[in-house]
Amino acid sequence: MHPTEHNTKSREEDNRPMRFANATLGKHRHVCAFFNGTEEEYRVLLPFVKEGLARGEKAFHIVDPKLRDEHLQQLSLSGVDVPAVEKNGQFELHHWHEVYLRDGHFDKDRMLACMQEVLEQSQRDGFPLARVMGHAEWASGDWPGVDDFLEYECRLNNMIPPYKDAVICLYNLTKCGGNLIIDVIRTHPMILIGGIVQENPFFVPPDEFLRELRERRSLLTKATA
């Protein structure tokens, strides 16, 4: 569906419930989704992606560059007309080094600005909502700037709500370190694990988590001085 077709729709229709796995996403649409493998991942993600595309919403996906072709194949096999939705601007696929790791490093401020621009551009293009999905297993690596990744995830909680779009942060548990997983859980108000979505009882409000990060850095600086 071309975005200009949305001009005749009511706001109520554009605000239809957004389903993700077993749940309907309400005011909290920043979700960390953990998977144990590709089969589980696509079993959950494909219905979510197809629902959004069928409703004329924007799909913006970020994947491991090694898995780009597999991602396109999964979409095609599920019935998505990939060339068509790419052509009309409804679907964009990028890999890590085009978004998170431009110039070979992670910059939290640049990434926050990038995400805000994605959501704003989606509105300017006439899409009722955007569904952003980003694989973030790279954050377990030793990339320059990776220490700021948790602050980025935390600050997304202040940025996303006014847009009402969904931002799903994807993690393959077999490719992530335990410490990263624990902290990532604490920066998302919603969590998916074992195929089940729920409000996250371990979520820490952004201001509190940012204060904790500053204290950690202070202690680390003192320990290495």
Give the strands of the sheet with 58-63, arranged side by side.
91-95, 58-63, 130-135, 166-172, 30-35, 190-193, 196-199
Phi, psi of 61 (to 5 degrees): -120, 140
Q: How far apart are CA 135 and CA 10, in angstroms?
A: 33
What is the reported pTM?
0.90
| pLDDT of the residue at 7 | 42
pLDDT at 5: 47
**Strands annotated E in 3-77:** 18-20, 23-25, 30-35, 58-63
Residue with the two structure tokens 């077999």: 174
In this prediction, residue 218 carries a pLDDT of 81
User: What is the per-residue DSSP string for 133-144?
Assistant: EEE-GGGGS--T
Spans of the chain below 70 pLDDT: 1-15, 225
Query: What are the chain's domains?
Result: 27-224 (3.40.50.300)
pLDDT score recorded for residue 225: 57
Which pLDDT belongs to residue 9?
45
The predicted structure's pLDDT at residue 16: 77
Rounded Cα gap, residues 114 and 128, in angstroms: 19
Side chain identity, residue 90: Q
